[in-house]
Amino acid sequence: MKTTSLSSTIMPVKLLLNNPSLPVTRFLSMKFGPSISAPRPVPAFSRVFPLRLRYLALGSQRTFSTRRTGSGSQFLRGYERKAAVGGSKSLVDHEAELSDWVSELRTDTTRGGGGRGEESDGGGRRGSRVRDRGGDREPYPAKRSRRDSGADEFGESRTRGGFRSFPGSSRMSKRDDHDDKEGRSFPPRSNRGSSSSNDRFGESNRRRFPSSNPSAFTRNPRMDRRFDNKFGDNAVKEDGFPGRRGPNFRGNSNASSSSLSKRGGREVDSGFRRGGEGLRKGGRDSRKEKEMLVVDDSDEDEEVNELGVGIADLLTEEDSDSAASDEDDEYEGLKDKSSAALFGSDKEVVSQKAVPKSSAGDSDSYLSESRFDQCSVSPLSLKGIKDAGYENMTVVQEATLPIILKGKDVLAKAKTGTGKTVAFLLPSIEVVVKSPPIGRDHKRPPISVLVICPTRELASQAAAEANKLLKYHPSIGVQVVIGGTRLALEQKRMQANPCQILVATPGRLKDHIENTAGFATRLMGVKVLILDEADHLLDMGFRKDIERIIAAVPKQRQTLLFSATVPEEVRQICHIALKRDHEFINTVQEGSEETHAQVRQTHLVAPLDKHFSFVYSLLKEHIADDPDYKVLVFCTTAMVTRLVADLLGELNLNVREIHSRKPQSYRTRVSDEFRKSKGLILVTSDVSARGVDYPDVTLVIQVGIPADRQQYIHRLGRTGRKGKEGQGILLLAPWEEFFLSTIKDLPMTKAPVPLVDPDTTKKVARALSQVDMKNKEAAYQAWLGYYNSNKKIGRDKHRLVELANEFSRSMGLDNPPAIAKLVLGKMGLKNVPGLRSK
């Protein structure tokens, strides 16, 4: 394994030297089709990197790289003529897809209102799939896409042929999935009451979580000992996969193993565990704790209570808070470049120091050779950067910063966990710095920078990062507006605390545009608009909100789109937000995977009735291997997430859950706890799939088919961040195996089948019997809704119901739970044999 890794480390470097296939790819502005070939000079960037880059604009794609050769701070340069991206698709395909989109857009525009990318379980709602209430999957209807119409039913064929695997094929198809109907079965916001669906689940949501008592969060040493004895004492982390370095990466080859040992040696310093009986309590009491929340705002109540969980999980209402491009082979070494020379700075240049060998602790593989103090950012920003512990730029930061600083629109693609947030925040802050200062009494300064994130967690995280960078800019304020908090509170907060940088989720931002006095005027000051997780925000679930937001900010602005995944169709529609002459900067080397080499990816295909015991066994094995385990278990929907969390709690594992059906205060607390903790499992819906930066996640398990290839990549990206190791396991049922064809280019192997002895089987069955029946019913309905919306699995309703009933049996139920007729009607499942209605 090590040999493989070493060769794979060396090979790309050789390639770099002999063949200018270089890792950072920069594209000309988005064009439709591969036909753009006119050479175009890039004076701005050449000025910024005068000695580092020269361009030949051939084709629609340019590449460049910065790489140290031998000692010192030499960089390799190279440029390559490349086939246009998307070459596998014909121009006809592109045009067909574009025309699909345009007609959909028209439909969207005419239907008005509706679709927001928020979440729900179940399949009644049409139009939007994922809601920023957190991003749990919302099923999309099974309208057959042209492209996939010939696919095997249920993907039962295990061959990988017959399924288009270029990135984004599934997404394109998904777009086709959307029905014209918006599923407006929800009452308008004002009509929604704080009813009592919680009560249905025995959750008295008005009880106070004892978070005011710090001891509630301190560890119980006795429990820890008991826990460690049970799972961790003699645990030795297997020296799994050596840290193969992609050609983008530098750093010594020992980095990964050292990181491994460091991780193994770290103390468990925070988070509370439950062990032994305490762990048993973890199942039940954790639920109690979850119930004892500070639920002090109406939106949160609405989020949990709306329509009653049964239907609410099936039907997500329109929720205004969003709760819802070269010269061949040129290598120019840089020797002792001054920062001004490096970046063509026409600004104040901050003193430079020798380039440090390493500045990132465990692994610096994701870092570039360039230091922040070599670029033209303000001294106060540099101080903030230094205090944040950043010295060298990451690859994406190095690639984008000079271009953004020049005012260009940018679409940037960089792997997960490689510092995209700082990449867009830092140059945006510089825009504010250069803006005329606001007067002290200016309570409502224009908003200069608007950052849109798809989930609340991500928005809060980006705001926190901005605050770090703004430490020495006291006159620049950041505010965050997200769903799940009272609009009025945010309005007051924004009034009391002037801000020039606003981070928001789309739905809540739209609320403010429509309901907050003076807000629209403030937005007219926007100079930089950022779409984080851009591909997701431009997806159908969010697009209408995004279009509304774009219409509310000035046309004369800079726009930055960042994501770890940029499917072809997103490139084709990004002109919604970006200027035509924007730059596409792709730091994922052409031909390399979009996932990290140091993350071991495996898949396991097993019948549904084995899934629960497999998840338990996989977790137990991992816990035994790594006492500092930190695991994310992704489930298909919020209600299935709750079921799995309940089950694992009953099995005495130290588990938390997070999904859209939890109040925001709870989500924030659990998210913070997981960020700081070790020895903890977070069972989650897709609210945690994108962007969330939990350090040192050791394992990501994905149970059931992810919504698409992108979602698989983003979920997996919660581990292996900042060059660290990680592991990912995808657990599928046999009829979900077709999904593997969409990720066949990723380095994935078969996982060994976990050993499940009869005792374990009994234990899991017993634990399942302890899970609240209502939660099983809700999970069944949500499961049915999710797969009903899958264009392959949901096509044959009879088969779908058979599978759902298999899921029901896997929960230990003899009979499938009855579902309300209304709900079955909404799902298009009325009178399908095998279903019970009520």
Ligand X SMILES: Nc1ncnc2c1ncn2[C@@H]1O[C@H](COP(=O)(O)OP(=O)(O)OP(=O)(O)O)[C@@H](O)[C@H]1O
- Report the alpha-carbon distance of residue 393 to residue 395 in Å, rounded: 6
> Which is nearer to ligand X, 248 or 397 (by Cβ)?
397
Contact yes or no for 580/29 (Cβ under 8 A): yes
Rounded to 5 degrees, what are φ and ψ at 640? -70, -35
Binding mask 485-504 for ligand X (x = CB under 6 A): --------------------
- Report the alpha-carbon distance of residue 77 to residue 74 in Å, rounded: 10
Contacts of 335 (CB under 8 A, 6+ apart): 72, 73, 74
> Which is nearer to ligand X, 84 or 464 (by Cβ)?
464
**Min dist. Cβ of residue 377 to ligand X (A):** 12
Is residue 38 packed enough to be buried (19+ CB in 10 Å), middle (13-18) or exposed (0-12)? exposed
Stretch that binds ligand X, among 37-45, 420-428, 537-545, 612-620 (CB under 6 A): 420-428
**Min dist. Cβ of residue 693 to ligand X (A):** 4
Stretch that binds ligand X, among 393-401, 492-500, 518-526, 538-546 (CB under 6 A): 393-401
Stretch that binds ligand X, among 115-123, 312-320, 340-348, 717-725 (CB under 6 A): 717-725
- The amino acid at 613: S
Q: Is 393 in the site for ligand X (CB under 6 A)?
A: yes
**Min dist. Cβ of residue 388 to ligand X (A):** 7
**Residues between 334 and 363 with contacts to ligand X, criterion CB under 6 A:** 360
- Report the alpha-carbon distance of residue 791 to residue 266 in Å, rounded: 45
**Min dist. Cβ of residue 696 to ligand X (A):** 10
> Which is nearer to ligand X, 231 or 366 (by Cβ)?
366
Q: Is 122 in the site for ligand X (CB under 6 A)?
A: no
Judged by CB under 6 A, the residue of 141, 417, 477, 498 near ligand X is 417
Judged by CB under 6 A, the residue of 292, 334, 422, 647 near ligand X is 422
Judged by CB under 6 A, the residue of 125, 274, 557, 721 near ligand X is 721
What is the total count of residues that contact ligand X (CB under 6 A)?
A: 20
**Residues between 127 and 156 with contacts to ligand X, criterion CB under 6 A:** none
**Min dist. Cβ of residue 114 to ligand X (A):** 28
Write a three-state SS string for 416-472: CCCCHHHHHHHHHHHHHHHCCCCCCCCCCCCCCEEEECCCHHHHHHHHHHHHHHCCC
Sole residue written with tokens 């995944």:
565
**Min dist. Cβ of residue 149 to ligand X (A):** 33
Contacts of 181 (CB under 8 A, 6+ apart): 126, 127
Q: Is 416 in the site for ligand X (CB under 6 A)?
A: yes
Q: Is 419 in the site for ligand X (CB under 6 A)?
A: yes
- Report the alpha-carbon distance of residue 381 to residue 298 in Å, rounded: 38
- At residue 122, the 3 state secondary structure works out as coil
Q: Is 564 in the site for ligand X (CB under 6 A)?
A: yes
Q: Is 675 in the site for ligand X (CB under 6 A)?
A: no
> Which is nearer to ligand X, 136 or 301 (by Cβ)?
136
Q: Is 390 in the site for ligand X (CB under 6 A)?
A: yes
3-state DSSP helix/strand/coil % of the chain, to nearest 5 = 40, 10, 50
**Min dist. Cβ of residue 270 to ligand X (A):** 16
For the chain, counts of helices (H) and of strands (E): 29, 18
Beta strands at 392-394 and 599-605: parallel, antiparallel or unpaired: unpaired
Ramachandran region, residue 812 (left: φ > 0; alpha: ψ -120 to 50; beta: rest): left
- Report the alpha-carbon distance of residue 309 to residue 659 in Å, rounded: 13
Tokens of 280: 């048993």
- Report the alpha-carbon distance of residue 719 to residue 598 in Å, rounded: 10
> Which is nearer to ligand X, 452 or 651 (by Cβ)?
452
Judged by CB under 6 A, the residue of 374, 394, 455, 810 near ligand X is 394
Q: Is 567 in the site for ligand X (CB under 6 A)?
A: no
Judged by CB under 6 A, the residue of 132, 409, 693, 736 near ligand X is 693
> Which is nearer to ligand X, 397 or 559 (by Cβ)?
397
> Which is nearer to ligand X, 503 or 733 (by Cβ)?
503
Buried b (16+ CB within 10 A) or exposed e, 538-577: bbbbbbbbbbebbebbeeebbbbbbbbbbbbbbbbbbebb
**Min dist. Cβ of residue 378 to ligand X (A):** 17
Q: Is 414 in the site for ligand X (CB under 6 A)?
A: yes
Contact yes or no for 644/633 (Cβ under 8 A): yes
> Which is nearer to ligand X, 691 or 817 (by Cβ)?
691
Stretch that binds ligand X, among 66-74, 158-166, 326-334, 715-723 (CB under 6 A): 715-723
Tokens of 216: 């509630």
Stretch that binds ligand X, among 415-423, 485-493, 651-659, 793-801 (CB under 6 A): 415-423
- Report the alpha-carbon distance of residue 170 to residue 569 in Å, rounded: 10
> Which is nearer to ligand X, 717 or 785 (by Cβ)?
717
Binding mask 513-552 for ligand X (x = CB under 6 A): ----------------------------------------
- The amino acid at 564: A
**Min dist. Cβ of residue 365 to ligand X (A):** 11
- Report the alpha-carbon distance of residue 403 to residue 390 in Å, rounded: 20
Q: Is 717 in the site for ligand X (CB under 6 A)?
A: yes
**Min dist. Cβ of residue 481 to ligand X (A):** 20
Q: How many CA atoms lie within 13 A of 424 on its CB side?
A: 31
- Report the alpha-carbon distance of residue 691 to residue 798 in Å, rounded: 37
How many residues are present in the chain? Answer: 838
Strand partners, 680: 630
Judged by CB under 6 A, the residue of 9, 74, 316, 418 near ligand X is 418
- Contacts to ligand X by CB under 6 A: 360, 390, 392-394, 397, 414, 416-422, 564, 691, 693, 717, 721-722
